[in-house]
Amino acid sequence: MERKELENVSDFPLGEENIAFAPYFIGKSYLSFLNDKEVAIYNITFEPGCRNNWHIHHGCGQILICVGGHGWYQESGKEAQSLKSGDVVYIAPEIKHWHGAVQDEAFAHLSLSVSTEGSNTEWCEPVTDEEYNKLKR
């Protein structure tokens, strides 16, 4: 997908290719740091088919605010949820989950978290193609 097309997924800046976290993603994503005052806010844009690995936030939760395209969110042991612009997802600490774009459309969300001392993210196994390809909007 062309960079220009990805820049139009949401009104927030696309940012740079998310190289630092690439080992934890299938496909290409982009990261734009928006705020570091009290609440860390990032805009993450996923190319079509891109998703992150299963992961767990220890010591703090996360809020996703969907701002463009269509995506998925899934907690371990539950059905995947379809996401669209305007949807908000609260992820409590210690919940294993993943999120990303649908197969044929880019997706962008804001990620908000309040880091606490000792908080961290535990990256787990990838969402397999078999799991992902079963998802239908």
What residues does each domain of the chain span? 3-133
Q: What is the pTM of this model?
A: 0.95
Q: Which CATH class is domain 3-133?
A: mainly beta
Q: What is the pLDDT of residues 6-33, one digit of tens each?
A: 999 999 999 999 999 999 999 999 999 9
- The rounded distance, in Å, linking the Cα atoms of 102 and 25 is 14
* Maximal C-alpha separation, the chain: 40
Q: Which of 9, 95, 91, 93 is nearest to 50 (CA)?
A: 9
Q: What is the pLDDT of residues 35-94, one digit of tens each?
A: 999 899 999 999 999 999 999 999 999 999 999 999 999 999 999 999 999 999 999 999
